[in-house]
Structure 1
């Protein structure tokens, strides 16, 4: 999208994006800054990537800083919350983007207990604890929006990585539960991108072996977008136009699943 076409929906707002050192999270963070937000860029191990995201934001005149945490650990999340609220005073939007997709696993036959534990710890436990910790503070400040990044994998499941599909389905339960608990002060929604061509996706064995072409042939829109194209779509859920939306599952997959009533 050309810069002059990007709306300014978050001028003066403070946004935290988890997993923003690489991939989709980095694009959400940059897009939020392009729309006027001050951005906290979370990472766990991708310190260099997080710094690159901050530099991209500063290059366009935005304000950003990095914050490190292992979101599978509640004490790390508490420390991150202290740092973010100390810097911002108020947090308007949390995007829970970070997640483990078990990229090394190419078949359900390769499932390991360690992989199950890791994916559930990050995708379910991490998302729940971030929603709980930051949402509680948003309640105290009197407003806020939480966007949990889900996946369209919940529609068909995953023969490749069942633990990933299970984890992403769990995010729906987290979203609905906290949407009910926090209403009407804090809205909580799930945004699910379909297949997007992040660097990690492009490097996957199955993607290189013809899966990309097969998926494109099954997608009515006829293409797989880059992550930046869907960054603004996720952030829509934090805008005033979405102020009557909470507990929802919104997807953008080019028509691949055609879900709905």
Structure 2
């Protein structure tokens, strides 16, 4: 039996939908904080179980009988210290339940990432590698396309794409591709001990984002690189909280350092088809 955590969230729903298209619902279970919100799945025959990362006792019951557990770690808005505790509890619960394999969604290009607030993902990966059970790590660019959409939308309002990205490149993958790839790993063989870097198939820069904004807006929009200080002042004037400004400044700095700039073939290999282009991944993220 495969157990998927966080199945009420957008990524978990994508994975479950792909699994349901390829295997009997009775061989699936989901771990969710609020089972009442998962009636769509229970109506299809999926076992819905209460599981809360902040309550390890519920996870042991939620994972009972699992052969494979997907620990859906896309809770990026959670503080790092809290997230580290949650992921450790989930890994321990899966081991206690006797799961023969744990699939973990991790942070993209983690080996080259300078962001302090995602170091807990490295700790979780280490726990898995020393767990004694089968494991697969999916380092996903989940959320990257959505973060780049902010610049596209803003430029369509102001007429210029202003960002502290310098000449950085990014490799966002389509969330639909990521969900399908995760499902393929869950039901496939030969993935134990593997770490996959699930990027888009090509690298794009902020000039490409400006070109996309131009197409969508029907007028020319150019990219203008700006300094951290200029953008921090703009974000402060717009009423952004200091913690969010610090995080966003660090995020752009990571891009400028070369983090997440190199496309990898892993996603297409898992999909067994070409992945959606990185620019199309951005365009598909809540844009007209």
The alignment's TM-score, normalised by the length of structure 1, stands at: 0.61
Matches within 5 A, 1:61-210: 63-81=45-63, 85=64, 90-102=65-77, 116=79, 119-122=80-83, 124-138=84-98, 144-152=100-108, 154-157=110-113, 162-163=116-117, 165-178=118-131, 181-182=132-133, 187-196=134-143, 201=146, 208-209=153-154
SS of 1:150's equivalent in the other structure is: strand
Structure 1 residues 40 and 204, CA, compared in 2 at 3 Å: closer, same or farther?
farther
Matched residue count: 195
Matched residue, 1:41: 30
Matched residue, 1:233: 181
- CA displacement at 1:36 relative to structure 2: 0.2
CA RMSD between the two structures: 3.5
The structure with the largest alpha-carbon Rg is 2
CA contact under 8 A between 2:50 and 2:62: conserved in structure 1?
A: yes
SS of 2:130's equivalent in the other structure is: helix
| Distance across 1 between alignment mates of 2:124 and 2:151 | 26
SS of 1:149's equivalent in the other structure is: strand
Matched residue, 1:29: 16
CA contact under 8 A between 1:192 and 1:252: conserved in structure 2?
A: yes
CA contact under 8 A between 2:15 and 2:183: conserved in structure 1?
A: yes
Structure 1 residues 67 and 74, CA, compared in 2 at 3 Å: closer, same or farther?
same
Structure 1 residues 252 and 98, CA, compared in 2 at 3 Å: closer, same or farther?
closer
- CA displacement at 1:224 relative to structure 2: 4.2
Unaligned runs of 5+ in 1: 1-13, 103-114
